[in-house]
Amino acid sequence: MSGTLADPLLPVALQELKLLENGKEWQIDQTLSELVSLTPVRGKLRAMHRGNVLELEGVASTIVTLCCDRCLQHFNHPLSFRTREVLWLGEQARHDGIAPETVLEGNLEVLELDADALCESLDPSSDFDPEHWVFEQLNLQLPVVNRCGEGCPGPNLSAAGSLQEPVIDPRWAALKNLES
């Protein structure tokens, strides 16, 4: 990242994040322990404690090797994400049917949100693990079906490594005779 040093993606206590007025930013340029990739993960991440929620914004990319589900050949696949996520911190009263609002609690901005709209939550006395969060975001970008591309040769149904004619199902043998 043009002249800036990457920050290690070490867990940080949510209580420490709460004390940082501008949140915490990480420049990412490293491999992740949970993701096997050809290139280091590069990007940036910002975490901002907002009282009852943790606001996360990040962008990152890397290249992974996948196995084609059709021809079983390995191929390189780029992974990247650009996302913004809000994680609920602890148990708060639910505000069903109320539009989100922002209120100030002392000097700390607190977002009034519908807890049912948030699907992820963290214990406010725990740590935020930025490396695991980046891993999760990249993992969500993996394809459901791995295809090496439009030129995929498909499955090789001939006997492995043999120069013989492929084995034909005897029920289709009559059709094979029509080709000649």
pLDDT tens profile 22-58: 999 999 999 999 999 999 999 999 999 988 889 999 9
Residue ranges in the chain modelled with pLDDT below 70: 1-5, 91-119, 156-168, 179-180
pLDDT, one tens digit per residue, over 125-138 is 899 999 999 999 99
End-to-end CA distance of the chain: 62
Instruction: For residues 14 and 124, give the distance between their C-alpha atoms in angstroms, rounded to a whole number.
Output: 6
Q: Which helix (H) or strand (E) holds 132?
A: helix 130-139
Does pTM top 0.75 for this prediction?
no
